[in-house]
Every structure is written in structure tokens, then in C-alpha cells.
Chains A and B, each alone.
Chain A
Amino acid sequence: DVKVTQSSRYLVKRTGEKVFLECVQDMDHENMFWYRQDPGLGLRLIYFSYDVKMKEKGDIPEGYSVSREKKERFSLILESASTNQTSMYLCASSRVFPDIPYEQYFGPGTRLTVT
């Protein structure tokens, strides 16, 4: 079974703090994704990584950065947390097959509250 784990289920941080969200997958997947999920807006892609040290901006990268130093680990960093970053954050991973779509496997999510 593919397993994607996230470092925290719930997190409360203060405005201006630097926040690290960690994601680890155990299936040697090439692709890893960070999403945020907000009511009425669905899932929105923040950043995508297709290989170690490779990253691509998603739809809403402002205020976020990412790090992928090892294949199994993908970190999302909020450089200076703000209240509008209060959200559910979901990590996902998938394999890459040329020209063949592949399902994504999701972590349990981290509900971040910034006060």
C-alpha cells in the first residue's frame, strides 16, 4: 500500500512565524504535490515537484516556497505566516509513466490555523 504521511494533523501558528509542513511518501514516486483546500474553492495547487531539487509553481505559489532534497520528502514552507494562509494543506504523490496518466495518492492533510 502506498503511504503518504504529513508531519502534523493540526497546527496553530502566529502571524509572522515561519512554518514548515513536511510530507513523506514511501513508494518511490517521482511526482509530489502540495495543495490547499478551502470551502467553495476546492483543491488548488501550490507547488509541484517532478524530481529531487526540481519544482514548478502551481496556481497559488505566492507566500510559499518548497524544498525537495530527497525523493521521498517534500516540504512546504510559509516564510511569514499570515491569517489568509489558514487552510487545510494536502500533500500528494504519483508515479510518472510517459503519456500515461497515473492516480495521485494523498496524505491525511494538515489543518493550519494562523492567528
Chain B
Amino acid sequence: KNEVEQSPQNLTAQEGEFITINCSYSVGISALHWLQQHPGGGIVSLFMLSSGKKKHGRLIATINIQEKHSSLHITASHPRDSAVYICAVSSYNTDKLIFGTGTRLQVFP
């Protein structure tokens, strides 16, 4: 079993829909990261959080440390949000990340 699990693996939405991507992890962590990868492109960091909630524009990330669960929400989705979203965790005493396998999101006009 992977230490970081994401769901769903694939997601299709119509423009304007509210989207949720989930991430569960089984190790102790110092932080959780949400990353975005556009087709053929590099990876950019969207959020790094260790508690509560963070918001940036239409993106919101939440984390529940007790339940070892995080969600990434996209409000009023747009075709330019189409990308792979990757959840990763920093475990204690290491600078390495443990990655989920990603969620491929396609938003249609």
C-alpha cells in the first residue's frame, strides 16, 4: 500500500464546477504539499501546509492532521485548470518528499 494515496485518479468536469481532490497518508508528516503539473511541463508548488486551511485565488487546500487527510478544492473551475495535481508529504527528519500518483483533471468548456 502506498504511503500517500490520492483519489480520484482521473476527474472530468464542466467549466464552472466545484472540484475536490483528496489525499490520505499513513506516515507522520511535518508538511503536506499540493503540486500542479501541466501537460508536457514542469511541476509547480501550489501549497505547503501543516495545519488548517490555505487559499490562493480559486484554490483552497485543507488538512486534517488527526485523520491524516487533505483536500484540494477548485472553485469555478476553468479549462486552464486542466493538469495533473500531485499530493506529497514531507516526513519528519528528512528533506525528501513522498508522492502520491497524481490526479488527472480535465475541465471542458
Contact = CB atoms under 8 A, between A and B. Distances in A.
Contacts of A101: 30-31, 48, 50, 90, 95
A108 B45 contact: no
B44 interface: yes
Contacts of B45: 103-105
B101 A108 contact: no
A20 interface: no
A85 B29 CA distance: 31
Give the interface residue-count category, chain A. 20 to 34
A75 interface: no
A83 to B, nearest CB: 22
Helix, strand, loop or mixed for chain A's interface? strand
A42 B101 contact: yes
Interface string A5-42: 00000000000000000000000000101000000111
Nearest to B93: A99
Contact of A94 (B35, B43, B86, B95): B95
A43 B89 CA distance: 12
Interface of A: 4, 31, 33, 40-45, 48, 50, 58, 90, 92, 94, 96, 99-109
